[in-house]
Amino acid sequence: MSMNLGPLFQPFELHNLKLRNRVAMAPMTRNFSPGNVPNEDVVSYYRRRAENGVGLLITEGTTVNHAGANGYPNVPAFHGDAALSGWKDVVDAVHEAGGAIFPQLWHVGAVRQEGVEPVPSVPGFSPSGLFAPGKPNGKAMTKDDIDDVITAFADAAQDAKALGFDGVEIHGAHGYLLDQFLWEGTNQRDDEYGGSMENRLRFVVEIVEAVRHRVGPEYPIMLRFSQWKQQDYEARLVNSPEELDAFLQPLVEAGVDIFHASTRRFWEPEFEGSDLNLAGWTQKLTG
Active site residues: 176
Distance CA 253, CA 125 (A): 27
Between 143-163 and 81-96, two packed helices, what is the crossing angle to 10 degrees? 40
Q: Report in angstroms the alpha-carbon separations of 199 from 130, 154, 181.
A: 18, 21, 9
Distance CA 44, CA 51 (A): 10
Q: Per-residue DSSP letters for 191-224? A: STTSSSHHHHHHHHHHHHHHHHHHH-TTS-EEEE
140 phi, psi to nearest 5 deg: -75, 135
